[in-house]
Amino acid sequence: MIGKTISHYRIIEKLGEGGMGVVYKAEDTKLRRTVALKFLPRELTQDPRAKERFTREAQAVSSLDHPNICTIHEIDETEDGQMLRYARRSTKGRSSWTRR
């Protein structure tokens, strides 16, 4: 994925992964800002329940408005349904998605 462009996001580096997603640092080439992209793992893109959970997660986070919570910019998937992702503002240092 590193170096690939998906939609208008250029993947820069992998930040981490877990059971419900893989997170990458990316550049939004339209707005020229750094974002974090979370992708549903490929093996889960065919599972309707996993896709629904992933979507609900993005919707829940996007409904919050607090200085310590990053804004979700969008949720989208490829036309063939192989990649489901959402984008959020990237913070300096490690992503909260990858903190332990």
Q: For the chain, give every domain's residue range.
A: 5-89
Per-residue pLDDT tens listing for the chain (100 residues): 899 999 999 999 999 998 888 999 999 999 999 999 989 888 898 899 999 999 998 899 889 988 888 888 889 887 777 677 887 776 665 444 444 3
DSSP E strands, 1-100: 5-6, 9-18, 21-28, 33-39, 72-77, 84-89
Which is it for the CA torsion 37, 8, 41, 71, positive or negative? Answer: positive
Architecture of the domain defined by 5-89: 2-Layer Sandwich (3.30)
- Model pTM? 0.80
